[in-house]
Structure 1
Amino acid sequence: MDVEFSEEQQEIRSALRDALDKASDSPAVRAGMVTEHGYDAAVWRRLCEQTGLAGLGIPEEYGGVGFSFTEVVIALEEMGRVLYPSPFLASAVMAASALVHSGDEAACAEYLPGIAEGTTTATLALAEPGSRDVAEVSLSATVTSAGEYRLDGVKTHVIDGALADLVLVAARLDGEVALFAVAADAAGLTRTQLPVLDQTRRQGRLDFADTPARLVGTPGAATAAALERVRQLTEVAIAAESVGGANRCLDMTVEYSKIRVQFGRQIGSFQGIKHRCADMYVQLETARSALYYAAWAATEAEAAGLDVDPAAPGAGELALMAPLAMTTATAAYRHLAEETIQLHGGVGFTWEHDAHLYLKRATTSALLFGQRTLQRERIAALAGI
């Protein structure tokens, strides 16, 4: 296992950081999160054109850049650092990964080029009321006498669900897990924006009533395995965002402790403040270590494909490390965000300061795949505890 980033990867991080610092400063984040889409569409398109952001992890044959998942993690870490509101997670990670792993070359050729360019936004609808597990998908898919597919049921907490141009939907067809593509304007599809704590990331409820859909891939165990892999990659992606955000919280706190003067001294000189900042750093580095291990496992597993020997590098580790990295990183993120608010004193509790935005992202990210207790039970089962 190589824990060092290559020179090219470091250059990617530097270029993305420069671009995001200009495109996603505090005023830009606040302006974007109150727009109709929850982000500045013009800035998103410009970043995609200048940096190839949306196509980083998409294969070159489908219009992407063709980088590994490690480069995607680097991008997510940098986006999390500045809280960049965008469709990247839902479109370029979740939906794009679902298409790539579906094995449906026709669907990939039709949808992925637009996603890679950033001109098409997509999302993946997995969660249903009461369940966020791939194995418990219950939304119904049927086939008509004319060979057309129809969907009936509800998906909820779909990231960018009410905004995306294309929705990929996990459903049950004759008892088997299947993946379907549904256009945003499809008949029988009702999309409702959900009230959310984190205004930088929208979520929606999707109601399907005899909604026409296109089958993607082949129903059955292969599709279930592909969707489980997508879930694992999404967990690593959330961990990356969380580490980036937590890092920014620590930087803000240390910077403030150097300029805030109380009792004639910089507050950073007080032992109590030093200890709390040191604890923040330890939690951040613990989360970062878990993230980079998971990113390595994801890159190795992606290179090997879905049907690989469990003993192959990364194959067995990803299933365990993905949820472990996510729970570790989101817990650290929330702790650091709370400490940032506390150590900034009165100003940390105000709307004008950005600390509350990071706390809201940390809180919602931790719940994207259900309650923490359920996530830990899954980790324990995977670890054989």
Structure 2
Amino acid sequence: MSAPDLLYSEIEEDLRASVRDLLADRCPPSAVLTRCEGPSPYDPALWRGLAVELGVTGLHVPEQYGGAGATLRETAVVLEELGRRVAPVPFLGSAVLATGLLLAACPQDPLLAQLAAGARTATLAVPLSTAPGAGFPGTVRAAGGGRLSGRVTSVADTSGADLLLVPAEGPAGPALYAVEADAAGLGVARRTSLDLTRPLADITLDEVPGRRLAEGGPAVAALRQALTTGAGLLASEQLGVAEWCLATTVEYLKERRQFARRLGSFQALKHRLADLWLETVGARAAARYAAATLAAGGPDAEVAVAVAQAHCGALAVRAAEECVQLHGGIGMTWEHPAHLYLKRAKADQLALGTPGHHRATLARLVDLPGPVG
């Protein structure tokens, strides 16, 4: 297999421009901050614009299953732009995790076409911190007739979701179920989460009816594949966060004056930003390689995902910390959006496996022995 092209294609750049224009018009920082002060940051109008007007929710779904027939590379470009705006939409939960699960488990199910068209929104009912290869969750049990009981904590993107995809241990072993969000016996309790733009919720199920989608080995494999894809594409969101923080900080230092000089003229600050730029370039290569390898179904996809997450998770946090610090006093205020990026970066660092987890996974995958003694 030849090495993938990490450069953005003309189609990808056109897609980026369309998404960026929509977000610039409907998702300015002031609007995000205002929504975070309300009961829910979820922006249904913005979500409709992305899902229906631009059709980005089904980019990597094959045409025969109701999607656009593009690849995960294009979906990764969308995540970059959403990261740049810390957009309060359930793209990761619905268009990546839930859609990825259906693609891997039961692509002919009508639910996949509905998600791809933006007619429905779903989320994968696992803790957001769940890493690929963590094992099949056992907190929900399925009785005869598909009645589900149990509890799942820290589930992302429940706001606006009308469908839950729930892993459960059934009479015949692991299985995946589709559960309507308004089903009797289902409770959703929002948690206080660090990331104000991606709230978490605890889900309780008490004899909730569910429709079985897959069971046994296929269910386990589908969940692992969905989480691996999610972790790989999350690196693109982290890249978008880092790029916004770097660009915004550079622009601020070009204008802000201290001691009758622009802050950007101080050599120490130039060196800090140069180091951050180099790390961001490396993160872009890692995120692009992960997306391209996943899109091509390459044999080293798990290695690419582990590399991307080990690097991009830490880089996004560092870029956001530098953004807050180098903005000085204004960077510490609620009115400036820098804190939203720091919170998103830190929450993303814990999502779908920490950098430490992915480094350990990488060491195992490439047979790299640990320290002796």
Does TM, normalized by the shorter one, top 0.5? yes
Pair 1:326–1:175, CA change in 2 (3 A): farther
Q: Aligned partners of 1:52 and 1:344: how far apart in 2? A: 36
Output one character per residue of 1:80-106: Cα deviation in whole Å (capped at 9) or x when no partner.
11111101111111111111111352x
- 8 Å contact 2:72–2:291 — kept in the other structure? yes
Residue 357 of structure 1 aligns with which residue? 340
Q: Aligned partners of 1:333 and 1:244: how far apart in 2? A: 8
Structure 1's unaligned 5+ residue stretches are 302-313
Deviation at 1:131, TM superposition (A): 8.6
Residue 196 of structure 1 aligns with which residue? 193
One-letter code of the match for 1:189? L
Residue 216 of structure 2 aligns with which residue? 220
Equivalent position to 1:376, from 359, 365, 371 = 359
Deviation at 1:134, TM superposition (A): 4.5
Residue 170 of structure 2 aligns with which residue? 173
Does 1:245 pair with 2:244?
A: no
Output one character per residue of 1:76-133: Cα deviation in whole Å (capped at 9) or x when no partner.
001111111101111111111111111352xx21x22332232321000123999985
Query: Whose RCO is larger (CA < 8 A, sep 6+)?
Result: 2
Further displaced range: 251-260 or 152-161:
152-161
Equivalent position to 2:257, from 249, 252, 261 = 261
Residue 186 of structure 1 aligns with which residue? 183
Residue 319 of structure 2 aligns with which residue? 336
Q: Aligned partners of 2:129 and 2:70: how far apart in 1? A: 35
Q: Aligned partners of 1:23 and 1:129: how far apart in 2? A: 29
Q: Aligned partners of 1:341 and 1:87: how far apart in 2? A: 26
- 8 Å contact 2:42–2:160 — kept in the other structure? no
Pair 1:22–1:131, CA change in 2 (3 A): closer
Residue 286 of structure 1 aligns with which residue? 282
Pair 1:56–1:35, CA change in 2 (3 A): farther
Deviation at 1:371, TM superposition (A): 4.4
Does 1:325 pair with 2:322?
A: no
One-letter code of the match for 2:117? E
One-letter code of the match for 1:348? G
Deviation at 1:60, TM superposition (A): 2.3
Output one character per residue of 1:192-215: Cα deviation in whole Å (capped at 9) or x when no partner.
111101110011111122221110
Equivalent position to 1:20, from 15, 18, 23 = 23
Pair 1:157–1:125, CA change in 2 (3 A): same
Further displaced range: 236-245 or 41-50:
41-50
Residue 138 of structure 2 aligns with which residue? 138
- 8 Å contact 1:125–1:169 — kept in the other structure? yes
Q: TM-score normalized by structure 1?
A: 0.89
Output one character per residue of 1:33-91: Cα deviation in whole Å (capped at 9) or x when no partner.
34554222122213323211222222323432221000000000011111111011111
Residue 101 of structure 2 aligns with which residue? 98
Q: Aligned partners of 1:254 and 1:127: how far apart in 2? A: 36
Deviation at 1:277, TM superposition (A): 0.5
One-letter code of the match for 2:6? V
Partner SS state of residue 210, structure 2: strand
Q: TM-score normalized by structure 2?
A: 0.92
- 8 Å contact 1:158–1:203 — kept in the other structure? yes
One-letter code of the match for 2:219? T
Q: Aligned partners of 2:76 and 2:228: how far apart in 1? A: 13
| Percent of aligned positions that are identical | 38
- 8 Å contact 1:129–1:154 — kept in the other structure? no
Partner SS state of residue 124, structure 2: strand
- 8 Å contact 2:185–2:207 — kept in the other structure? yes
One-letter code of the match for 2:141? A
Partner SS state of residue 210, structure 1: strand
Further displaced range: 334-343 or 182-191:
182-191
Which aligned segments of 4 or more residues in structure 1 are displaced greater than 6 angstroms? 128-132
Aligned residues: 365
Structure 2's unaligned 5+ residue stretches are 369-373
Does 1:233 pair with 2:229?
A: yes
Pair 1:114–1:56, CA change in 2 (3 A): same
One-letter code of the match for 1:374? H
Residue 298 of structure 1 aligns with which residue? 294
Does 1:114 pair with 2:117?
A: no
One-letter code of the match for 2:126? L
